[in-house]
């Protein structure tokens, strides 16, 4: 789990829209890959899914007025979810700070 200060106090909706619009291109560029990524947003929780490589929700982003928490839900998966989490945290830090 990684915690990021929500410096600009973005809402979960704003972060969801940023992820949906730009995160797929960002991570595919970083990994030189062509991953398919799905997002599900309910209230202050955003689930990030990589359906081609990980079954179920891989990462969860929880947003409050003070912080953004990224949790790895697929530890022990064949695919390196720690690397996916690192790139998600980097993206959120760069985009939302």
| pTM to 2 decimal places | 0.88
**Model confidence at 6: pLDDT above 60:** no
How far is Cα 9 from Cα 58, in angstroms, rounded to an integer? 25
Average per-residue pLDDT for the chain: 86
- What band does 4 get if pLDDT is binned at 50, 70 and 90? low
pLDDT in tens, 21-32: 999 999 999 999
- Contacts (Cβ under 8 Å, ≥6 apart) of 64: 6, 44
Average pLDDT estimate for 24-42: 94
Provide the residue ranges of all domains of the chain, joining segments of one domain with +. Answer: 2-96
- DSSP H helices, the chain, are 12-18, 24-31, 81-96
């Amino acid at each position: 789990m990684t915690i990021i200060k929500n410096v600009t106090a973005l809402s979960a909706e704003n972060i969801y829209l940023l992820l949906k619009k730009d995160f797929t291109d960002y991570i595919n560029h970083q990994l030189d890959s062509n991953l398919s990524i799905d997002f599900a947003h309910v209230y202050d929780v955003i689930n990030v899914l990589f359906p081609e490589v990980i079954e179920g929700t891989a990462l969860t982003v929880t947003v409050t007025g003070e912080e953004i928490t990224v949790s790895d839900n697929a530890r022990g998966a064949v695919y390196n979810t720690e690397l996916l989490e690192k790139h998600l945290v980097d993206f959120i830090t760069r985009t939302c700070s």
